[in-house]
Amino acid sequence: MKLLKQNVYYFFWITVTVLIALSIHWLNFEDAVLDINVHDTYFVIHNSHILQLIAIIYSLLGFIYWLFKKVNVKLINALTRLHTAITILVIPIYFIGHPLFISFSESNFPLFDDTPKIQVFITILVLITLIAQLLFILNVLISLLKHFLDRN
């Protein structure tokens, strides 16, 4: 457990392994899709493809954290923990929350559409994730600045 506290990149690489396994599993389901409606256009993205993209991003984040560990650049611990927690927890929140919204949105009135609520949920999750990535960039920039100023 001490190893996981010191090396945050293991969390990302473990998550990548789980995401790839889920992506392979969901290739069999045709209806596991995310529908995004923008005016007259529907964007239909299979959950498997979303997971593959997220797995690539998470593996890059894990690689960056690993690289900082190997180069001995000390990152800000609070920002690292916050970024890791938000970035990893967004995925289960989406995959638990999205079906809940769909199950609660089924109504007897056929003209009632709950997709705006689902889209607001997804938009909030994306914004929280983007803010977490900004924290990561801020953490990297501050840590690099401190590292190079301390060396001189």
Contact 104, 118 (CB under 8 A): no
Residue 114: per-residue pLDDT: 60
Residue 110: per-residue pLDDT: 56
pTM for this prediction? 0.80
**Mean pLDDT of residues grouped by 10 in the chain (152 residues)?**
67 93 88 79 87 93 94 92 93 83 63 69 91 95 92 74
Owning domain of residue 62: 2-151
Distance CA 123, CA 136 (A): 20
Contact 23, 55 (CB under 8 A): yes
- Give me 34's structure tokens: 């995310």
Total number of domains constituting the chain: 1
- Give me 62's structure tokens: 């894990």
